[in-house]
Structure 1
Amino acid sequence: MTYRHLSRFIPSISSYVPSRRLLTTSSLRLASVTDEAVDPRLVAERVEEETDVVIVGAGPAGLSAAIRLKQLANSEGKEIRVVVIEKASELGAHTLSGAVIEPRALNELIPDWKDRNAPLNQPALKDSIRLLTEKSSYPLPHLSQMSNKGNYITSLNSFVKWLGKQAEDADIEIYPGFAASEVLYNDDGSVCGIATNDMGLDKNFKPKDNFERGMEFKAKVTLLAEGCHGSLTKTLMRKFNLRENRQPQTYGIGIKEVWEIVPEKRIPGLVFHSVGYPLDFKTYGGGFMYHMEDNIVQIGFVVALDYQNPHLSPYKEFQVNSMNNTS
């Protein structure tokens, strides 16, 4: 398909001049537009790659799945090609949360993770949950599901980078800087892979001189690990009615800062959570504070997206919560 500039019919100037003309020049003829503007997205073909498994998203879930698939294939003496597509420019660039990691799954996936220098250096040593008010705070009963004994406080960014190194050592292909933009389907409607985004588009998504088509990754298995509200996942949800008769997910806005504090204020291994102030009783959310190694503290605040006050600013509430938690 091509786009054409359609020339409009414009009468010659002579049609507006009386029969006895005073003009001595010949009638003007307007040039018609005949050039064709071809959109390269409609004519250029994508490069196609065949693989056994393509995984969208190089977070903890995507990388863990890739490593486990390779392990299973190796145990059966099979050679499979596993490709991981990641939109961030480098692994971990979009993974910024502080985290408390339960190592049970990691023990099963990579039993010798300590010998491989996994960035799990600060064990969780103390739990605290408090109800905050504007001027005070009160301890809450410790729930068993909130116990972090045996867990580790870490930077999820550092953990993802380390996990990516383990995947590369297992001959898994990881391509950062490429966003998956489209799900590919077979003639029977089944999924057969993904396509990456086109490169070289301007701010209006029009091709520039350096335009380049994305790639197609055709795979026997396509695994989406692109996060809680991924764009490709949403298309599959609609196409296959995957949310029909299912409990809907809940979402929240999370804000986090990393502070370096003076050594005398550090409480090694503290995992602190708060509820209450500055949020009212109708708004779900709360704060957290994790004391890591090297005098680093990760402080965060989460507000559910169903908050009713249109004037509420999660970031401003985070500032109030942070000062209350650390005072």
Structure 2
Amino acid sequence: MQRESMEFDVVIVGAGPAGLAAACRLMQQAAAAGLTLSVCVVEKGAEVGAHILSGALLEPRALDELFPDWRQRGAPVTTAVSEERLYMLTSEQGGIELPPALLPTPLHNNGNYIISLGNLCRWLAAQAEQLGVAIFPGFAARSPLYDDQGAVCGILTGDMGLAADGSPKPGHVPGMELRARYTLFAEGCRGHIGKELIARFGLDQGRDPQHYALGIKELWRAASHRHQPGLVLHGTGWPLAEAQGGFFLYHGDEGLLTVGLIVDLDYSNPYLDPFEEFQRLKQHPLLAHHLFEGKRLAFGARTLAKGGLNSLPQMTMPGALLLGCNAGTLNGAKLKGIHTAMKSGMLAADTLVQSLAGGDAGARRLTDFDAIFKDSWLHRELYQSRNFIPALHKFGPWLGGAFNYLNHNWLGGRLPLTLHDRTPDHATLFPAAECRKIHYPRPDGQLSFNRLSSVYLANTGHIEDQPCHLQLGDPELPIRDNLPRFDEPAQRYCPAGVYEIIDTDGSPRFQINAANCVHCKACDIKDPAQNIRWTPPEGGSGPNYPNM
């Protein structure tokens, strides 16, 4: 098939904080070095920010470096954290507030901001375009391109206008080859190309397996007399009796608040349902007080990489770099990944400009990035926090919390040992016969809701007549193996009702409702047989998040 091709100096996959920070920094540094660069950013969402979801608390350190005058430029970063509280919920009614003095120092949020990451990315995209970056929303990167030496030399975008059977429909447009001297992959957590690159180049050799959590979030319009701009609530404990994780509730600007639950995906009971756990959480009096009389505006879900430095793959390969949450730069101790993702993109830009200024078009291995990264505050921060999540996984919230308090508050994260968690999340499920069934209450329609009404608020849209983007390695496995052994957990770990077991004439059938997909990637991670492969649907498909 004949495909159109375009040439750039740098192609960036993903218009999230890492990709956009890299694009802006590239143009800034190129101008300072007297270089003229062609840079493009490819984004699978219908618009920049459409697929962006985060808590989100912003530590402005990287933004300060990228645009020291961001306030004068009108960045949507206005609500500073004014008060924060941390709770341990002990039951559906009870809990205790933990004294600030007993919290590990990374959990303090003085100087941080409550933001919409989607809106920040829209603003960053505008800055990038002003600097001369070309941004192409609605185009999904399907696969990397490799040159004759095996180095990455760009990407292939997905076809537009394919029928469900893969045949071209009227108006079919083949994908384009976007060729580049360097390619930056900033797809976000569990990027499908990132997976391929890690496997192809062995980037994870000698590392712990990456660990993930599923974050589920709602945006609410708070009742005016209950709104407290700048208030931050974090907590753990109930309702997560059989999983680790925690909740957040942030009072932002313009009467908005965000509430969410993060569930670590290393849980063992296949009956656990993260979506239903979130609905239960909102009934707790602590959260219900803030949500009562409010209106739910939006819903979304996304996985996040929590393995930290121990699970961070090699980020360099011939012709390309893996950045941000695609690599796993989130700081699990701080529960923040925006500033770290941005910094990884900025370090990548510094590396590329040095290489381009030197006229280096040889092996293109970008080995200078490793030294630049290890000399940065990003590496120091991740190193100090390397034990935080493994400690919680090994010792639980109380003993793990005590370990982290000692390590961070007394030793500054310099405890001379490194904890490891070498069991991948998909391998932690117990057989259903060994686990208790969890019975969840019916939604009340005021604080708790069902899946379909939630998916509706994610504004998710997929053309029905297109190839299914959720691919099964073995189509028979869900019914043959997963159903009898684990009661097919995809019915529950997916927050959007994508996977169902349907009774057809007395026989179970595994049904995929791909149109419901919010692109969280939980299925790609948690399926115990690693039989489900998430791939990008037609460009522009998926959720369309406002203010998330």
Q: For this structure pair, what is the TM-score category when the shorter chain's length is used for normalisation?
A: 0.7 to 0.9
Once residues 235 and 46 of structure 1 are traced to their aligned partners in structure 2, the CA distance between those partners, rounded to angstroms, is 22
| Match in the other structure for 2:96 | 138
The residue identity in structure 1 corresponding to 2:94 is S
Cα deviation digits, residues 227-254 of structure 1 (max 9, x gap): 1101111111111111111122111111
Matched, 1:227 2:227: no
The residue identity in structure 1 corresponding to 2:97 is P
The residue identity in structure 1 corresponding to 2:202 is N
Aligned equivalent of 1:246, options 195, 207, 211: 207
| Match in the other structure for 1:314 | 274
The residue identity in structure 1 corresponding to 2:205 is E
| Match in the other structure for 2:254 | 294
Matched, 1:125 2:82: yes
- TM-fit CA distance, 1:268: 2.2
| Structure 1 unpaired stretches of 5+ | 1-43
| Structure 2 unpaired stretches of 5+ | 290-548
Query: Larger deviation: 61-70 or 240-249?
Result: 240-249
| Match in the other structure for 2:3 | 46
Query: Larger deviation: 188-197 or 316-325?
Result: 316-325
Once residues 119 and 100 of structure 1 are traced to their aligned partners in structure 2, the CA distance between those partners, rounded to angstroms, is 13
Cα deviation digits, residues 275-321 of structure 1 (max 9, x gap): 000011x4111110011112211000011112112111111110111
The residue identity in structure 2 corresponding to 1:260 is R
Q: Is the 8 A contact 1:55 1:84 kept in 2?
A: yes
| Match in the other structure for 2:21 | 64
- TM-fit CA distance, 1:205: 2.1
| Match in the other structure for 1:28 | none
Once residues 160 and 243 of structure 2 are traced to their aligned partners in structure 1, the CA distance between those partners, rounded to angstroms, is 42
Once residues 193 and 260 of structure 1 are traced to their aligned partners in structure 2, the CA distance between those partners, rounded to angstroms, is 43
- TM-fit CA distance, 1:213: 1.1
- TM-fit CA distance, 1:86: 0.4
| Aligned 1:176-325 pairs, distance under 5 A | 176-280=137-241, 282-324=242-284, 325=287
The residue identity in structure 1 corresponding to 2:50 is A
TM (norm. structure 1) is: 0.84
Moved over 2 A (4+): 140-143
Aligned equivalent of 1:102, options 27, 40, 59: 59
| Match in the other structure for 2:288 | 326
Q: Of Structure 1 and Structure 2, which has the larger fraction of its residues in helix?
A: 2
- TM-fit CA distance, 1:326: 2.8
Cα deviation digits, residues 188-225 of structure 1 (max 9, x gap): 11111111011110122222222221111111110000
Q: Is the 8 A contact 1:54 1:217 kept in 2?
A: yes
Question: How large is the RMSD of aligned CA atoms in angstroms?
Answer: 1.1
Q: Of Structure 1 and Structure 2, which has the larger fraction of its residues in strand?
A: 1
Once residues 99 and 221 of structure 1 are traced to their aligned partners in structure 2, the CA distance between those partners, rounded to angstroms, is 30
The residue identity in structure 2 corresponding to 1:56 is V
The residue identity in structure 2 corresponding to 1:120 is V
The residue identity in structure 2 corresponding to 1:117 is G
- TM-fit CA distance, 1:269: 0.7
3-state SS in 2 of match to 1:323: coil
3-state SS in 1 of match to 2:119: helix
Q: Is the 8 A contact 1:128 1:142 kept in 2?
A: no
| Match in the other structure for 2:50 | 93
TM (norm. structure 2) is: 0.51
Matched, 1:168 2:129: yes
